[in-house]
Amino acid sequence: MTSDRTVLVVMHTGRDDATETFRRVEKGLGDNGIALRLLAAEAVDRGSMPRDADGGRDFGVDIEVVAADENAAEGCELVLALGGDGTFLRAAELARNVEIPVVGVNLGHIGFLAEAEADAIDVVLDHIVSQDYRVEERMTLDVVVRVDGRIVHRGWALNEASLEKGPRLGVLNVVLEVDGRPVSSFGCDGVLVSTPTGSTAYAFSAGGPILWPDIESILVVPNNAHALFARPMVTSPDASIAIEIEAGGHEATVFCDGRRNMVIPAGGRLEVTRCGTPLKWVRLDSAPFTDRLVRKFRLPVTGWRGP
């Protein structure tokens, strides 16, 4: 039987709860005529696929195994992530490549990016089967590395681009620039350039503010800066952020969402702007961001009486 609908499932492998949740996904979607697609390494880990699984081979009526490349989600209606925020970010990369939505089910600790917890998987599957969900667009960042005026690397980020000094190296000396004008120079361990979505991630740990996701903006957070004026800044979403590394200093590395990295030599330049390709994000309810913040961070609200 060939299905007209296919969902790519991205899992946190090596966990019993992920395997059990996937079995429920198989039944919930398979019983409704929706085909599944798995990444080869995850299918092998699950123990149901041959060890020689390679891209494009079909191992059953309802499950197709593909290579984890930029075309993994081609032809799917959405990507379902089963895991924590790291799994969601992997799934988001595959979804964004072909401009389809992604939905996360949390099997981790906080799982801030997930739309539901594992015990609500059947509810999530019902929404997918009936296509009863909204799709929001979350802004992403275009990340460019220039050396001597030439673009040598290009990437993107959903959460943040994190410029970091190398291990056991001295202070990283940088100049921060906004919209083509210098703002400040300082020594630091690094600088984070974040979206509102990423403001609850690394940028938050580095002392940045939490931004509601409907406030489109770019957040700049110096990390352990040795300067008086090196505070977090919120800029326009259309701002152009640049960070130049001192020519006589150390090289640095920029990490995009903690996954994709690019080396920047001394004298190099990191440029971050809003990307023209947002991420399509599945929402299953209309609960406000405030409720998610309180629930995920377990914030104390005892004594609140309401309006």
DSSP 150-170: EEEEEEEESSEEEEEEPTT--
Check the annotation: does 52 bind a ligand. no
Check the annotation: does 255 bind a ligand. no
Check the annotation: does 42 bind a ligand. no
Q: Cβ(62)–Cβ(33) under 8 Å?
A: no
In this structure, the number of other CB atoms found within 10 A of the CB of residue 235 comes to 16
Check the annotation: does 92 bind a ligand. no
Residue 216 in tokens: 């489109």
Q: Is residue 142 among the annotated active site residues?
A: no
Side chain identity at residue 135, one-letter code: V
Check the annotation: does 199 bind a ligand. no
CA distance 195 to 212: 10
Check the annotation: does 252 bind a ligand. no
Check the annotation: does 202 bind a ligand. yes
What are the DSSP E strand ranges found in 166-259? 172-178, 181-188, 190-194, 218-223, 233-235, 241-245, 252-256
Check the annotation: does 179 bind a ligand. no
Angle at 80 between CA 104 and CA 1, to 5 degrees: 160
DSSP 3-state of 209: coil
CA distance 124 to 132: 10
Check the annotation: does 259 bind a ligand. no
Check the annotation: does 205 bind a ligand. yes
Check the annotation: does 160 bind a ligand. yes
**Pick the catalytic residue: 17, 85, 122, 291?**
85
Strand partners, 278: none
Q: Cβ(139)–Cβ(216) under 8 Å?
A: yes
CA distance 56 to 150: 37
Check the annotation: does 146 bind a ligand. no
Q: Which residues are annotated as a binding site for NAD(+)?
A: 85-86, 90, 159-160, 189, 200-205
Q: Which residues are annotated as a binding site?
A: 85-86, 90, 159-160, 189, 200-205
Active site residues: 85
